[in-house]
Amino acid sequence: AIEALLAGATGDEMATAARLLADGGQMVLAARLFGTALQADPTNVSALVGRGALLTSPDFAAFEDLLAEGMRALDRAVELAPDDPEARFWRGLALARLGLFDDALADLDHLATLPAPAGLLDEGARLAEEVRAAAGG
């Protein structure tokens, strides 16, 4: 039903709507809408980051196939836009959750070098500190 409301919407508009749905707790609907946005434009970094962040969140952690799909989306987002701060943050967070601390720190350290909103940089720095502590160094 939501897809019908967004008929003719751009991939970016669909990604924005999906983020709003996710923020409102409508995770499954948001995941579907991110998927629709990616069908329209498989290189939409915003939709890749949104879908990847959603599918690697604790809400979907029990579903290994969705986790793998989420990681692929985040990897693709970083491949397409290596200096996208959101892509680096969300992939870093997902990698940290998986215990891949060195890879997570590579993304979070790269994030720290990028022009990005202060809140995102602060959150990335806080996460990097937690990852370093968890990694034992």
Residue 59: pLDDT above 60?
A: yes
CATH code, 85: 1.25.40.10
* 27 vs 51: CA distance, rounded Å: 10
**Domains in the chain, number:** 1
Report, as an integer, the average pLDDT of 34-57.
Answer: 92
Q: pLDDT tens-digit profile of 75-90?
A: 999 999 999 999 999 9
DSSP 59: G
Cα pseudo-dihedral 27, 59, 41, 118, rounded to 10: 100
Q: Domain limits at 130?
A: 2-135
- Alpha carbon of residue 71 to chain centroid: 9
